[in-house]
Amino acid sequence: MRYEAPDTIKAAVGLLSKAKGTSRILAGGTDLLVQMRSGMIEPDLVVDIKSIPGMREIVAEKGGFRIGAAVSGAELEEHGKVGKMWPGVVEATNLIGSTQIQGRATMVGNLCNASPAADSVPAMIAAGATARVVGPKRTRDVPVEDIAKAPGKTSLAKGEFVASIFLPKAPARTGSAYLRFIPRTEMDIAVVGAGIAMTLNAKGVITAAKVSLGAVAARALVVEECAKAIIGSTLDDAALDRLAAAASAAAKPISDKRGTVDFRIKVAGVLARRAAVIAYDRARG
């Protein structure tokens, strides 16, 4: 195993492209070191991207924010402005693990680990986030929902990695929220997660919405029916019932050590409803 800490994207891409065997990116390391420790993976090359300029920065861009791949959850929270615009995204990221994990874990790592239960992913999807993928051939911007393919598998090609996440400017009267269910109060993997973002008109009618569910399928789901259920409403009880029903209907979970199929289906609806109420309140300001 080799450890490299290049100081340019080009050098990092070069290392990854040429590498034989298994190579991994190191940013926060909170998934990578666990996988190495358990013997799940034995990388031949680890590329630490934290020395690359920009990786640990959050910069304003086109009214939104570009968040470097090595920005930790704690740094994201302390930034303040991102959380003001996209509270759902920041809250979701901050739910990952403990204070200690927050000191290291990144949104991009959460995304590229490709766990169906990743907390930040449904929230990013709801916010319309894109991932900037750098690689040997070109740089491309990809909707976050297109990165994870299946548990542990991404759409990234050899030599490619995600260098940053872009959160677009939130339109006026936009609110977002993310809720998850865990058996304890902390330190658990989501049994179900629900991310939602919505925009209202001046009368409080929802004009746009995006809803994403985590841990109820092989990857985070974008549920159009959930959005349809509330667009055009003022989030009255009937709209909330439709939303919950649509979320439960979309959930295609499995039973495992963390939860059962029935439980996940039911709670997907409960969380979608609760998250919508929070997001709506935030949108109204």
Partner 1 sequence: MSAVHVSTNINGDDVEFVCRPDESLLDVLRDRLGMTGSKEGCGTGDCGACSVELDGRLVCSCLVMGAEVGGHKIETIEGMAQGDKLHPLQQKFLEHAALQCGICTPGFLVAARNLLERNNDPTETEVRYWLAGNLCRCTGYDKIVRAVLDTAKDMRKAAAKSSAKKASAKKPAAKKKAAPKKTAKKGARHAA
Partner 2 sequence: MPLDANTPDLRTEFKSVGTRPNRPDGVDKVTGRARFGADFALPGQLTGLILRSPHAHAKIKSIDTSAAEALPGVKAVITYKDIPEQEGCDKDVLVNIMARGTALYDGHAVAAVAAVDASVARKALKLIKVDYKVLKHVTDVDEAMKPDAPVLHPGRFEPVDFSTLENAAHVSGKEERKTATRAHSNIAGRYVFGHGDPDKGFKQADIIVEHEFKTEATHQGYIEPHACTASVSSDGMAELWVCTQGPFMVRDVCASLLGMDVSRLRVTPSEIGGGFGGKTTVFIEPVALALSRKAGKPVKVVMSRSEVFRATGPTSSASMWVKIGAKKDGTFVAADAVLKYQGGAFPGSPVEMGAMCAFACYDLKNVRIVGYDVVTNRPKQAAYRAPGAPMSAFAVEGVIGEIADKLGIDAIDIRLKNAAKEGTVSSYGPTFGPVGLVETLEAAKAHKNYKVKLGKNQGRGVASGFWFNFAGNTCVSINLNVDGTLALALGTVDIGGSRASMCLMAAEELGISYEDVRAIIADTSSLGYNDISEGSRVTFSSGLATIKAVRDLKVKMCGRAAKIWGIPEDAVKWENGAAHPAGSNAGNFPPLSIKEIAAQASATGGPLAGHYEINAEGAGPSFATHVCDVEVDPDTGAMKVLRYLVVQDAGKAIHPSYVEGQFQGGAVQGIGWVLNEEYFYGKDGTLQNAGFLDYRIPVCSDVPMIDTVIVEVPNPGHPYGVRGVGETSIVPPLACVANAVSDAIGVRARTLPMSPPKVLAALEGVAASKA
Evaluate whether 193 touches 275 at the Cβ level (below 8 Å).
Answer: no
Give dist(CA 180, CA 169) in Å, integer.
25
**Minimum gap (Å) between residue 219 Cβ and partner 1:** 21
Query: How many of the chain's residues bind partner 2 (CB under 8 A)?
Result: 21
When CB distances are held under 5 to 8 angstroms depending on the partner's kind, the choice from partner 2, partner 1, none that residue 183 binds is partner 2
For residue 72, the partner it binds in partner 1, partner 2, none, with Cβ less than 5 to 8 A by kind, is partner 1
Minimum Å gap between C-beta 100 and partner 1 is 5
- Interaction mask 205-234, partner 2, x per CB under 8 A: ------------------------------
Instruction: CB nearer to partner 2: give 99 or 234.
Output: 99
CA distance linking residue 209 with residue 227, whole number of Å: 5
Partner in contact with 252, chosen from partner 2, partner 1, none, beta carbon below 5 to 8 Å by kind: none
Work out how close the CB of 240 gets to partner 2 at its nearest, in angstroms, rounded to a whole number: 12
Note whether 181 binds partner 2 by CB under 8 A: yes
Determine which residue in the list 150, 260, 281, 284 makes contact with partner 2, applying CB under 8 A.
260
Q: Which does 188 bind (CB under 5 to 8 A by kind): partner 2, partner 1, none?
A: partner 2
Note the residues at the interface with partner 1 (CB under 8 A): 1-3, 5, 26, 28-30, 33-34, 36-38, 46, 48, 50, 72, 74, 77-78, 91, 94-95, 97-101, 103-104, 179-181, 185-187, 271, 274, 278
Q: Which residues contact 250 (CB under 8 A, 6 or more apart)?
A: 213, 216, 221, 223, 225, 226, 268
Q: Which is nearer to partner 2, 64 or 253 (CB)?
A: 253
> Between residues 2 and 158, which has the closer beta carbon with respect to partner 1?
2
155 binds partner 2 (CB under 8 A): no
x/- binding map, residues 22-51, to partner 2, per CB under 8 A? Answer: ----------------xx------------
Beta pairing, strands 192-200 & 161-167: unpaired
